[in-house]
Amino acid sequence: MRQLSKFCVGLAVCAALGGCGDASQPEAKARPPVEHGVFISARDCAATGKLTVDQCGQAIDAAVARHEAEAPAYGSLSQCEATVGADRCDKGVDGRYRLRLQAFFVALAIPAHAVPLYPPSQSMIGFQSPSKQVIDARDATLRVSDAALSLAYENAKLANGSVEAAAQLGRGAADIH
């Protein structure tokens, strides 16, 4: 009984002091949510004032490298368009055709991170990530540059692409963030 009362007193003291941890340790501060945006270039990204041209450029260069390494490549324009849809392909420096890289989804944080964006497989005002996540360019939670918004409106004019194209996009991150 005596041990139980000592335990209760100890518990009461801990509760009164707000816990038994080290009070000299600062509490972890909640980070503000990271802003995201859709841009077509490093200068476009830097215009937000959140990152420098160099920070945006490094993130975008990594996204371009990812695109070149992971996006399916085709030997001819007709093969590419048969798979991903008309007006969605570009010829790369290697002479092969890939889904057109249009913009970048950028985390406006340090270090910056960017994901390549492509024309969506369905006609819509937006883009599609490598993991097939659709990005609505009119989403009020995103910073979308005027240039990227203009491209997104052009995407709405494209005919619907093939279902196979959407499946082949997803060899990357499961989440665009």
Q: What is the pLDDT of residues 17-62, one digit of tens each?
A: 444 445 555 556 777 788 999 999 999 999 999 999 999 999 999 9
SS3 call for 163: helix
Q: Are 134 and 172 in contact (CB under 8 A)?
A: no
pLDDT at 7 over 90: no
C-alpha dist (Å) from residue 42 to 18, 103, 112, 113, 153: 48, 10, 11, 12, 21
Check residue 93 and give its pLDDT. 86
What's the pLDDT at 26?
Answer: 53
Q: Is the model's pTM score more than 0.75? A: no
Confidence of residue 159 (pLDDT cuts 50, 70, 90): low
Q: Which two tokens stand for residue 3?
A: 């041990």
Q: What is the mean pLDDT of the chain?
A: 80
